[in-house]
Structure 1
Amino acid sequence: MASPITPSTGLGSGLDIGSIVTALVNADKSAAQTQITNSQATNTLKLSGVGSLKSALTTFQTALTNLNSSTTPQFAGFSATSGTPSTLTATTDNTAVAGSYNITVNALATGSQVASASFAGGASSAIPSGTLTISQNGTNYNVTIPANATLQSTRDAINSTLSSNGISANIVTDSSGSSRLVFGSTTTGLGSDLSVSGIAGLEVDGTQVMPVPPTATSSGTITALAQNASLTISGLTVSSKSNTVTGAVSGLTLNLLSAGAPGVGATSQVTVGTNTTGLQSSIQTFVNAYNSLMTTIGNLSTPTTDSNGNVVPAAFTGDSLPRALISSIRGVLTTPGPGSQLAVLSQLGVGTDPVSGNLNFNATTFNRAMTTDGLSGQVQTLFTGTTANSGSDGVLSRMTAAISSYVQTGGLLDQRTDSLNTQASSLTSQQAALDLHVTNITATLTAKYNAMDLLVGQLKATSTSITSFFSSLDAQKSAS
């Protein structure tokens, strides 16, 4: 805080009152100001450190989530390659077995699409009120149609009510201006045909195919009934309600995309092999994410030395929080996983540097491990866990659990931030109180020294008057 004292020299005493008061005030506030200033600097450093640590943990948590993704598996022990990706693609899980499969897609699974009779008034045609019932696979879905409804508002009511069930509706208008309500479903496979009842003019028998060309009153399924996907795998016939075929080949999921010409089909060769390159890349990503976090924690905990050789403390110097965090994370690395042949990361060439504490990855050890039959399939189990335990026994899930208490809302880092913010507020109050004290004591001392200066001035004036009086007497005496 800047001194409120204005430098001045006493007129009566000739003393530099401003300097005297400044020195006295500074001496009075020095210890308290130093304590507040140092505490504020330390508090700011710790707040910044908590923010940096939380950011680093959030980044690490995101990396773990991405590596543990079920939709884009990063630790698949095997990889599947389709010879004709336009016909089908394939993915594997940790139960796959290396091999080659000749697959012919004869037909794709289709969903139901049905159309109502036509309405000459187009989208604005009046629709009776009531309950529209759309049936599929033995389940009825009801949509309330209010009074004064039109074909367009009916479509909108269906979509807002049934979109979560995969059922939708739209209006198709022909060249004559007549419109039909067309219903569709994302559900595929034999028996998934839609039927519509309850509102006159919108009733559709989903088991009947609409004639070509349709009449104004005809309704029904457009083109064909819903059907299953049909394919052969190494000569064996397979039928599936979905174009995503799981379980036909152990550990292999087929995503059917094209059936080719009718009666001929589309063929693709699918090859399953050990996913050595992909696994190595994913493990290296894990190691890099771990090391990045450990480096941040180390930087936030280790004091440094300035250019003068003075030790500069870090945000968490002497703090137990980062030590507890590191202990929790490293505990996951040393705890055996659920696998039988593969239980610890060191079997894959992942070790800990004894000096830095970071992880290192030995590609030679990893590649040697991948030559062991069945071990590549257990890499996924080690990292992503077993299905029976919902993956909670995998390294990634256990690592996420180890840091969750720190990064979650209201967690340990949020609690530490709240405490530091409270301390910062207290220090601000202490500074305001000290500033007020300085202002008051400055005013008091200035008033006292000014009073002293006035008194000295008066005494000087009196002294001068007396001296002048006696000098005058001496002069008179000498003259006589």
Structure 2
Amino acid sequence: MASPITTGTGLGSNLDISSIVTALVNADSSAKQNQIKTQTTINTAKISGVGALKSALAAYQAAMDKLSSATSPSFSGFAATSSASTVLTATSDNTAVNGTYTIKVNNLATSSKVASANFSGGASSAIPTGTLKISQNGTDYSVAIPAGATLQTTRDAINTTLSAQGISANIVTDSNGSRLVIGSTTTGKGSDMVVSGIAGLNIDGTQVMGTIPDPSNPGQTLPDPASSGTIGALATDASLSIDGLAVTSKTNTVSSAVSGLSMTLVAAGTSTVTVATNTTGLQTSIQSFVDAYNTLVKTVNSLTQATADADGKLTVSAPMTGDSLPRSLLADIRKELTTPGPGGQLSVLAQLGITTDQKAGTLNFDTTKFNTAMKDKSLGSQVQTLFTGTNSTNGLLARMKTAMSPYASTGGILDQRSTSLSKQKTDLTTQQAALDLRVESMTKTLTAKYNAMDLLVGQMKATASNITSFFDTMNAQAKA
């Protein structure tokens, strides 16, 4: 704030009014100004610290969510590999057992694809209004066909109405006209579609579309323009053998034929599937868990631990030094590290070679001890139970998420602290504005008073000078 004092010495008193007023104002306001400045510095640092803690906690939660993913498990005790991924791919869960299986895929499961008879008017052919019914696996799906519909708008209505059911439609046009072709993602024998309800769009998908001789290629056939039905062949089940035992499947994902093993069929052929203990994958997942935890601990330490300055003489406080919140957060999370899990033989992290550094608070992962546990004690199948539990709440990852929830949830402890600090920042801004007004007012008042004093002193000096001159004149006349 610019000072209202005009620098210079008083003409009447020869006093440095500017310096006197500045000193008096500073003496009155410096204590409050220093208090505001100190509290503002601390407040700014704490706001930054809480923000950094929020970010660290969010990153840790993201890492825990990834490790606990149900669609991509990180702690599978077994790993399945296929010798021919172009034939099939394989995954396993913790109910699998070590073994090798010879899989021969005879044919894949196929879905239904049906076509209407040709419409000579093409995609713009008129379609009667009404309700189109598509039946599949004993379920009827209805599609409303409005007045003025065409083959193209009928296709669009099917796609809009039944996309969630895996049923879609398109139009195929050849020299004879256009056909409505309807396909489904549902596979397996008996999943053929039957279409009814609209004249011209009656399709019996349990029958293969008829053919006529191809005049251009003797001995070859073409689809009959007047015929409708299944294109090519009816829907079929997947056919395969596992070590010579015949297996069929409605879908190309075979998950119940071998306990703990799921296979996705890709093409006909033969593949050898091997199931073995997932030591390498488990070690990678555990290391990811340890790294995520250590990153959180190091962030908290950087926000709370005071450090020495460049000369090593003075202690420099961190943004949240002395604040109990970060310590409480770590204490709640660390508690879960030592709480026994729901498993049997494997119940604590120390059995996997995971220990706590007593000085830094971080985790150490002894891979030698881990590999021994996997090889000699056969704990691989129990690792997932320790981390992800037997239900949605008793695994280590779920318990840690529960421990973090009061801090990280919307409106939780960290949000409340942020709100409190923001309010404090506003209060400090208000206090600074009030102090600035006080300084300005006091400066104006003191300046006016000292200027008035200077004027009075000047007047008194002038009067004194006049009196002195008067007596000097009288003395001179008397002597004369």
Match of 1:123 in 2: 123
What secondary structure, in the 3-state scheme, does the structure 2 residue paired with 1:118 have?
coil
> Mean alpha-carbon deviation: is it higher for 443-452 or for 369-378?
369-378
- Are positions 1:218 and 2:223 aligned together? no
1:34-433 map, 5 Å: 34-176=34-176, 178-212=177-211, 213-259=222-268, 266-307=269-310, 309-372=313-376, 374-386=378-390, 389-390=391-392, 392-433=393-434
Supply the distance in 2 between the matched residues of 1:249 and 1:132 (Cα, whole angstroms): 42
By how many angstroms is 1:4 displaced? 4.1
> Mean alpha-carbon deviation: is it higher for 208-217 or for 45-54?
208-217
Alignment deviations for residues 24-80 of structure 1 (CA, whole Å, 9 cap, x no partner): 111111111111111111111011001101111111111111111222221111111
Structure 1 unaligned runs (5+)? 260-265
Supply the distance in 1 between the matched residues of 2:6 and 2:230 (Cα, whole angstroms): 96
Alignment deviations for residues 262-299 of structure 1 (CA, whole Å, 9 cap, x no partner): xxxx1100111111111111111111111111000111
> Mean alpha-carbon deviation: is it higher for 146-155 or for 455-464?
146-155
Supply the distance in 1 between the matched residues of 2:457 and 2:254 (Cα, whole angstroms): 106
What secondary structure, in the 3-state scheme, does the structure 2 residue paired with 1:173 have?
strand
By how many angstroms is 1:6 displaced? 3.2
> Mean alpha-carbon deviation: is it higher for 228-237 or for 365-374?
365-374
- Residue identity opposite 1:102 in structure 2: T
By how many angstroms is 1:103 displaced? 0.4
Q: How has the CA–CA distance of structure 1 residues 240 and 440 changed in structure 2, closer, same or farther, with 3 Å as cutoff?
A: same
Structure 2 unaligned runs (5+)? 212-221
- Residue identity opposite 2:408 in structure 1: V
- Residue identity opposite 2:230 in structure 1: T
Supply the distance in 1 between the matched residues of 2:125 and 2:15 (Cα, whole angstroms): 102
> Mean alpha-carbon deviation: is it higher for 120-129 or for 270-279?
120-129
Alignment deviations for residues 69-109 of structure 1 (CA, whole Å, 9 cap, x no partner): 22222111111111111000100101110000000001111
State the Cα RMSD in Å: 1.4
State percent identity of aligned pairs: 64
- Give me the TM-score of the superposition, normalised by structure 1: 0.95
What secondary structure, in the 3-state scheme, does the structure 1 residue paired with 2:179 have?
strand
Q: How has the CA–CA distance of structure 1 residues 434 and 220 changed in structure 2, closer, same or farther, with 3 Å as cutoff?
A: same
Match of 1:263 in 2: none
What secondary structure, in the 3-state scheme, does the structure 2 residue paired with 1:327 have?
helix
Supply the distance in 2 between the matched residues of 1:203 and 1:268 (Cα, whole angstroms): 43
Supply the distance in 1 between the matched residues of 2:169 and 2:161 (Cα, whole angstroms): 11
- Residue identity opposite 2:449 in structure 1: K
Q: How has the CA–CA distance of structure 1 residues 93 and 334 changed in structure 2, closer, same or farther, with 3 Å as cutoff?
A: same
What secondary structure, in the 3-state scheme, does the structure 2 residue paired with 1:149 have?
coil
Supply the distance in 2 between the matched residues of 1:184 and 1:191 (Cα, whole angstroms): 14
- Give me the TM-score of the superposition, normalised by structure 2: 0.95
Q: How has the CA–CA distance of structure 1 residues 396 and 460 changed in structure 2, closer, same or farther, with 3 Å as cutoff?
A: same
By how many angstroms is 1:466 displaced? 1.2
By how many angstroms is 1:216 displaced? 2.5
Aligned residues: 469
By how many angstroms is 1:374 displaced? 4.4
Supply the distance in 1 between the matched residues of 2:409 and 2:160 (Cα, whole angstroms): 35
